[in-house]
Amino acid sequence: MAQRVAVLETIFHACTSAKPCWLTEWAFNNRDQSCPIHDDLRLQLVQAERTTLKHFIEQGRLAASLYYSWDGDFPGQKENMGAIFRCGALTDAGKLALSPL
């Protein structure tokens, strides 16, 4: 987590409690094409990212974060790699990513 905080410190260097930033796009892909989806790794990544973002929220430097995934299929792809609604349902990673911090 410390390394990720350091990376985001660089990105959010100008963000202050007087003028907080918004992170408008963050996401993790899952290349697994099976149904039901095997999404354990992405769930762990979302948990770690939320923990990191909470650091900046608590400082008042981050006002919002939006989990985002481009939509668009590649030839032969059954499910979009970035989609959090897969196999007919919202994934566990998706539920966590969309829940309030």
66 backbone dihedrals φ, ψ, rounded to 5° = -120, 120
pLDDT band at 75 (very low <50, low <70, confident <90, very high): low
pTM equals 0.84
Residue 48: how many other CB atoms lie within 10 Å: 13
pLDDT band at 20 (very low <50, low <70, confident <90, very high): very high
Residue 101: how many other CB atoms lie within 10 Å: 11
Q: Is the pLDDT of residue 69 over 70?
A: yes
